[in-house]
Amino acid sequence: MLADDVAGLLLAARTEIGSSYPSLTPDIAALHLFERVLYEKFAILPEGHPWLKPVRFDNPAGPGVGEMNFYRIDGDEVHEVAVGPIHAGVIECGHFRFQCLGEEVLYLEISLGYHHRGVEAMLTGGPLARILPLIETVAGDSTAAHAFACCTLLEGLSETLPSPRGQHIRALALELERLACHTGDIGAIAGDVGFLPTSAFCGRLRGDWLNMSAMLCGSRFSRGLFVSGGTAFDLDPALAHVLTDKVVLAARDVQGAVRLIWNSPSVMARLTGIGVLPASVAASLGVVGPPARASGLARDARRSHPLPCLPALEKICVADRGDVGDRTALRYDEALASAALCQNILKDLPAGGCRAEKQEKIYALAPKHIAVALVEGWRGEVCHVALTDEFGHFAAYSIVDPSFHNWAGLAYALRRQQISDFPLCNKSFNLSYCGHDL
Amino acid sequence: MFEIFLERFRQKTRTVAFPASLPALPPRFRGRPFIDADRCAAAGGCCSCVAACPWHAISFENTKPALDMGMCIFCGECACACPQRALVFTTDWRLASTDRDALVVRPAAYASPRQPGGQGAGLRASSGLADDDDERLYVLPELPITSVTSLAAAFARSFRLRQVTAAGCGACEADLNVLGTVVYDMGRFGIDFVASPRHADAIALTGPAPRNMRAALLDCYAAMPAPKVIIAVGACAISGGMFRRVAPPAPDSIQGAPPQCRPALFIPGCPPHPCTTLDAFLRFLDQRTPR
């Protein structure tokens, strides 16, 4: 399944394969993880793959999690730093292996799989009558993005059109999620360089955005909002009015809080030129979302693949240096654009119900079909693909979280950096472990 | 420098009044469930709620439903399915208990706070799930949190938590993290997250703890000095939540905190609201929170 962003097209192709095929990774680096997963799940060997290691360690008979040959640099003065799986902060688990010369990182290898819960396997044979709560936990901070993608799939396969009003409320939830995460991460970046004012303000503001989601549906993470055909909760004019006021106030406070960074040379000096991901590398690794846009790649599924009933995004925010500073600035720009988008949605909500009428058909899926959904979450493009068998059950359900593409980008950005800058680089990407491990 | 002061002035002081006063939760917040015995009996044991629960958190017990908050994700499907509106989600955020069995909600007699002898202001049932024709207010008895006195005395004014994410999705973690921000400012009660298990009094455990995380979790627990406790935060850590799998083979079962480290405190939710968690921590340390 390939996407042509410029033309807004999806291209589907298939082939018969036996137990092996010549690896495509040497020519197309972006495929390296896909080939590894196919090998791990189905034992289909990509011959000549330069980096054939386990990804999620999901085979009880295979190597234990983290047991693999890490890339190693020899030399009298080279030392190795191993971090994780449990990290120092309140954060998910994964293992990082640094090859260092003094303070300088020569190479970083990231080994994940600790969070493998087997979500895709649980979905096969479905749809479960209540698939959505499970999808909402694929990556807990991207609840809206994943639930949106799953609903889009179910609607596509059951030929149901979502309610336009519900679709706009979904888009609102998606933008609130973006605002919460971008604001929180800018605060965390400020915290990592020891600039406490922005860190404290943004920590509070992140909660304000989450509380707006809670006003909408009772959950700070939009749990329970998405149902196939639309949303479980509607917005009356009074609530829309209250939310609009809150969006305006919070956006103003975000501007005030983040402006302090731009006006503090000591902070900017710590962000500029650190963790550079050049555009050519981002493109060849298939990086998506804010890290791709900060490196100058104008990729945004909201523009290239707009969802039903929603207008295409008018302008994609991009930057060009691809360092931590650009990733911070880009997320600030996106947050402000997103706040404006929220206000527009709240102003012009389509009339009608928030759920589609023909609800009962929604889990009767077309047999022998394939469906694809692309949703631009705050972290980047979320892709769900489902394949149905002759009874209309899922023969396969595959989820690609943006983190799946982007971890390799983070590993690259660390090269030739001080190891002490790892937290800063990591925060500027803020990738999901469980979204990768599923 | 001057700009920073000015901005600080603009952004104001934002620490919540909780626990000195009741938290302001949104009307649609789904908190502690309540099953009205009379209404449930009127439905004649219809079992709609049992069938509606996506994750088998509601079971039948002597022809009556029993809802296990330790498995509940508070999605509200059961409340929507109940024809008598016997099962409702109130906006009560106080969900935690040290007694695992106390998390099971069984049908009980409804008592109005307006009746003689009724106490407290009462909390609404969460709206938006069913027709909003119910004007009832609910006052629910407090769930037991019995802090072991020696622990409470030892930890009362300095409680250090090591957070371990055993394959949590990130939502529980985010709402634990928020306790450290200026909004909840957990530090004012002497509670903080620490980086090393050597400095920790408790593990705040999130996630269902599947096979790939178990060794790391047990290593972390072993590295902590005694006395030490496990606090299970969220449905996943309490029971495995949606990922619960108890069928053999044993290494592949998923049921939250493994038997080698049994939790002393259970905080239900998916994820628990920060007020739920803070209320639990404070009562565990024998500090009162408002009724």
Token digits of residue B36:
């009205």
B40's CB contacts (< 8 A; 6+ apart) are B64, B65, B84, B86, B87, B107
How near does any CA of chain A get to the CA of B216, in Å? Answer: 7
CB contact under 8 A, B75 and A197: no
In a domain, B115, yes or no: no
Confidence class for position B289, pLDDT limits 50, 70, 90: low
| Chain A closest-CA separation from residue B246 CA (Å) | 14
Of B10, B28, B213, the CB nearest to A233: B28
- Biggest CA–CA distance in chain B, Å, is 69
B170 plus B256 within the same structural domain? yes
Within this chain, do residues B159 and B248 fall inside the same structural domain, yes or no?
yes
Report the pLDDT averaged over residues A177-200.
94
Band of pLDDT at residue A277, cut at 50, 70 and 90: very high
Would the pLDDT of A361 be above 70? no
Residue B160, domain extent: 148-285
| pLDDT category of residue B118 using cuts at 50, 70 and 90 | very low
Is the same domain home to B277 and B166? yes
The CATH code of the domain that includes B252 is 3.40.50.12280
Cross-chain Cβ contact A216/B11 below 8 Å:
no
Tell me whether residues A206 and B164 touch, CB distance under 8 A. no
Q: Same structural domain for residues B241 and B157?
A: yes
Look at residue B108 and tell me if it is in a domain: no
For residue A224, list chain B residues with Cβ-Cβ distance below 8 A.
Answer: 30, 74-76
> Coil, strand or helix: which one is A127?
coil
Flag whether B123 is in a domain. Answer: no
Contact flag B3-A263 (C-beta cutoff 8 Å): yes
Residue B87 belongs to domain with CATH number:
3.30.70.3270
Whether cis (ω within 30° of 0) applies to the bond prior to B19 is yes
Nearest by CB to residue A90, choosing from B11, B173, B249, is B173
pLDDT band at B164 (very low <50, low <70, confident <90, very high): very high
Q: What is the mean pLDDT of the segment spanning A399-411?
A: 94
Q: How far is B13 from chain A (nearest CA, A)?
A: 10
> DSSP code of A29?
G
Distance from CA of B68 to the nearest CA of A (A): 17
Q: Does residue B286 carry a pLDDT above 80?
A: no
Residue B130 has a pLDDT of: 47
The 10s digit of each residue's pLDDT in B252-283 is 788 889 888 899 999 999 999 999 999 999 88
Note the pLDDT tens digit of each residue in B201-242: 999 999 999 989 999 999 999 999 988 899 999 999 999 988
For the stretch A112-142, pLDDT in tens is 999 999 899 888 887 776 788 899 999 999 9
Q: Which residue has the higher pLDDT, A244 or B138?
A: A244
Residue B152 pLDDT level (bands cut at 50, 70, 90): low
For residue B122, tell me if it sits in a domain: no
Domain count, chain B: 2
Position B126 pLDDT exceeds 80: no
Among B178, B211, B249, beta carbon nearest to A207 = B178
Better-predicted residue by pLDDT, B111 or B65: B65
The residue in chain A having the minimum alpha-carbon distance to the alpha carbon of residue B166 is A115
Across the range A6-26, mean pLDDT stands at: 88
Which pLDDT does position B122 carry in this prediction? 61
pLDDT at B248 over 80: no
Q: Which residues in chain B touch residue A57, judged by CB atoms under 8 angstroms apart? A: 212
Say yes or no to pLDDT of A43 above 50. yes
pTM listed for this prediction: 0.93
State pLDDT tens for residues A310-326: 888 888 899 999 999 99
Q: Is the peptide bond before B141 cis (omega within 30 degrees of 0)?
A: no
pLDDT band at A370 (very low <50, low <70, confident <90, very high): very high
Whether B49 and B161 share a structural domain? no
**pLDDT recorded at residue A60:** 81
Most confident range, picked from A222-226, A363-367, B247-251: A222-226
- Angle A421-A426-A432 from CA coordinates, rounded to 5°: 165
| A394-400 vs B229-233, strand pairing mode | unpaired
Residue of B32, B169, B191 to mutate, testing the A interface (most A Cβ within 10 Å of its Cβ): B169
Half-sphere exposure of B108 (CA within 13 A, CB side): 14
Q: Residue B245: its pLDDT value, please?
A: 85
Residues 213-252 of A with CB under 8 A from B: 214-221, 223-224, 232-233
Residues B24-54: pLDDT tens digits?
Answer: 888 888 899 998 888 888 877 788 888 888 8
| A:73-132 residues touching chain B, CB 8 A cutoff | 85-86, 88-93, 113-118, 122, 128-130
ipTM: 0.91
- pLDDT given at position B249: 67
B166 and B264, same structural domain? yes
Residues B86, B108: contact at Cβ < 8 Å? no
Q: Which residues in B lie closer than 8 A to residue A173 (C-beta atoms)?
A: none
In a domain, B56, yes or no: yes
pLDDT at B244 over 90: no
pLDDT for residue A408: 94
Q: What is the pLDDT of residue A176?
A: 95
With 90 as the cut, is the pLDDT of residue A307 above it?
Answer: no
B83 plus B186 within the same structural domain? no
Q: Are residues B72 and B175 in the same domain?
A: no
- Does residue B78 surpass a pLDDT of 70? yes
Query: 175-234 in B: which are within 8 Å (CB) of A?
Result: 175-178, 180-183, 193, 195-196, 207-208, 210-213, 215-216, 220
Q: Tell me the H-state helices in A193-323.
A: 196-217, 237-262, 265-271, 279-285, 289-294, 301-304
Residue A64: pLDDT over 90: no
Closest residue in B to A234 (Cα–Cα): B128
B176 is a domain residue: yes
Residue B9 lies in a domain: no
The Cα–Cα gap between B159 and A421 comes to: 30
User: Could you tell me how far CA B199 lies from the centroid of its own chain?
Assistant: 25
Mean pLDDT of B79-84: 85
CA distance B64 to chain A (A): 23
Sort out which chain B residues have CB atoms less than 8 A from A128's CB and list them: 54
Rounded to a whole number of angstroms, the distance from the CA of B210 to the nearest CA of chain A is 6
- What confidence score (pLDDT) does residue A360 get? 58
Question: Is the same domain home to B70 and B164?
Answer: no
Q: Mark which of B30, B59, B93 sits at the end of a domain.
A: B93
Q: A224 and B182 in contact by Cβ < 8 A? A: no
Residue A229 confidence (pLDDT) above 80: yes
The per-residue pLDDT of chain A, averaged, comes to 90
DSSP B125-185: BPSSSS-S----EE--PPPP----HHHHHHHTT-EEEEEEESS--SHHHHHHHGGGSTTT-
The reply to whether B245 falls in a domain is yes
Which of B93, B111, B136 terminates a domain? The answer is B93
The answer to whether residues B264 and B184 belong to one domain is: yes
Same domain, B72 and B168: no
Of the three residues B73, B93, B113, the one that is the final residue of a domain is B93
CA-nearest of B103, B135, B106, B137 to B120 is: B137
Q: Which of A89, A141, A210 lies nearest to residue B170, judging by beta carbons?
A: A141
Distance set, CA A247 to CA A30, A55, A253, A363, A438 (Å): 38, 40, 10, 35, 32
d(CA B33, CA B66) in angstroms, rounded, equals 11
CA nearest to A321, candidates A288, A275, A283, A286:
A275
Are residues B168 and B84 part of one domain?
A: no
- Average pLDDT estimate for A81-102: 90
